[in-house]
Amino acid sequence: MALVSASLGWMLDSMDIMLYAMVLAHLIRDLGMSMATAGLMGSLTLFSSAAGGVIFGLIADRFGRVKALMGSILIYSVFTGACGLSQNIMQLAVFRVLLGLGMGGEWATGAALVAETWPSEHRGKALGIMQSSWAVGYALAAAITALVLPRWGWRGVFFVGVLPALLTFWIRRHVAEPEIWIKSVEAKKHLVSRAGLSEIFRRPFLKSTLVTTLMNAGTMFAWWGLFTWIPAYLGLPAEQGGMGLSVVKTSTWIIVMQAGMWLGYVSFGFICDRVGRKKTYIIYLFAAAALVIVYSSVRQNAALLLLGPLVAFFGTGYFSGFGTITAEIFPTRIRASAQGFTYNIGRGLSALAPFTIGALAKGHGLALAFYLTAGFFLFSAFTAFALPETKGKSLD
């Protein structure tokens, strides 16, 4: 039940957040946004998600993983629907910022919930399965766009995004707090001082906090810079630096790409449980950098269709390792707080990615701008060499 609830929450989080990417070309046209402004809108969401991740991580450690999970899902659902009511760029920006708070909170609470429920020998697989639901949500966003956009426009697409709020009723009835968290809360009552977020900035955790935050910032910059703009890259006309595909064809290609993304997430979990978290993580990042360079260099539709799943496989699969690594580095009393901080501050630092890629694309085209994301994949790969290997570690 813990794995199902966290996976559904992450899947619907992905669906809601990626609806923006799927309708981005239409928002640029209807609201009169420049590509730089469209990218800035994505950056604002990522900035607020960083705050949401830290806040909900603290809530999860204090009040429980399940309560925090439900709260985050409600927030991102309500404000995704509200995006469909936007009459101008400013209103859309406000709703995207509020949506980001819930988006950031879902991962930290869901990852802690799964990590504390599953044993070490299967933890990587479980978190890989949870992470893989992001690909399902992205594909679902593409399918919704193909069905809804031609009939009811981009507003109707956003209105569909309110439906995940219904998931909270199921979670409340069927998902219990992890036993390890309950015991940790009981143990805290007997301590003179209560552990807080500041503990991750002291020894022995300071180095791991800095390494995982910087590493995640690099991968997040690469991911959001690339995958926020790929739907627009496929759908924009050639004179604007795109491939000129129709709405239905763009959605179809994105769905095909998500098949590779899903396999990347799941395979990472099985491989890292067998050969180690650190080694698998680094291999995926090096492969991602190489494939992005190739993807950005070709202009044939068939080549892009074939390369898309490979780019998604290696360009996202490593995220399955981040939850496993951080869960095994930090103790239960600060686990959700530490995961919320390292994941979402990394996301916050990467928030300039959509804006930066959009600004570069204005003068040089999206294909050339994507080269920058390959550079950030390489940065994170080299940063990951400073990680400890945590394969086989039991949680306290």
Nearest to 373 by CA among 328, 330, 326, 312: 312
pLDDT over threshold 60, residue 168: yes
**d(C-alpha 256, C-alpha 218), whole Å:** 26
Give pLDDT, residue 240.
64
Quote the CA–CA distance of 220 and 266 in Å, as a whole number.
19
Question: Under a CB-based contact definition with an 8 Å cutoff, are residues 379 and 200 in contact?
Answer: no
Confidence of residue 239 (pLDDT cuts 50, 70, 90): low
Q: What pLDDT is attached to residue 191?
A: 52
- The total number of structural domains in the chain stands at 1
Q: What is the pTM of this model?
A: 0.71
- Asked if residues 48 and 174 have their Cβ atoms less than 8 Å apart, the reply is no
Inter-residue contact 218 to 318 (CB < 8 Å): no
- Tens of pLDDT, residues 327-372: 788 877 777 778 778 877 777 777 788 778 888 877 777 778 889 9
Please indicate, yes or no, if residue 391 is contained in any of the structural domains: no
Q: Tell me: the pLDDT tens digits for 80-103?
A: 888 888 888 888 888 888 888 888
pLDDT value at residue 333: 75
The mean pLDDT value for 201-215 works out to: 85
CATH of the domain at 183: 1.20.1250.20
How many Cβ atoms sit within 10 Å of the Cβ of residue 240?
A: 17
Instruction: State how far the alpha carbon of 230 is from the alpha carbons of 168, 221, 234, 370, 382, in Å.
Output: 31, 14, 6, 9, 25
Q: What was the pLDDT predicted at 206? A: 85
In the chain, what percentage of residues exceed pLDDT 90? 11
Please say whether the beta carbons of 84 and 155 come within 8 A. Answer: yes
What is 223-285 written as a DSSP string? HHHHHTTHHHHHHS-GGGTS----HHHHHHHHHHHHHHHHHHHHHHHHHHHHH-HHHHHHHHH
On average, the pLDDT of the chain sits at 81
Are 262 and 315 spatial neighbours (Cβ–Cβ below 8 Å)?
no
Predicted confidence at residue 378, as pLDDT, reads 95
What's the pLDDT score for residue 193? 45
Give residue 371's pLDDT: 92
Q: Which helix (H) or strand (E) holds 315?
A: helix 301-317
265 assigned to some structural domain: yes
Per-residue pLDDT band at 237 (split at 50, 70, 90): low
Q: Is the peptide bond before 237 cis (omega within 30 degrees of 0)?
A: no
Residue 393 lies in a domain: no
pLDDT at 381: 94
pLDDT of residue 293: 92
CA angle 200, 206, 211 (to 5 degrees): 110
Mean pLDDT to the nearest integer, 281-297: 92
Report how far residue 205's alpha carbon sits from residue 184's, in angstroms, rounded to the nearest whole number: 19
Percent of the chain past pLDDT 70, that is, above it, reads 92
Residue ranges making up the domain that contains 343 = 2-386
List pLDDT tens digits, range 49-76. 878 877 887 787 777 777 887 888 888 8
Say if CB 229 and CB 361 are below 8 A apart.
Answer: yes
Report pLDDT for 376. Answer: 94
Give the residue-averaged pLDDT of 10-39.
78
> What's the distance, CA 16 to chain centroid?
11
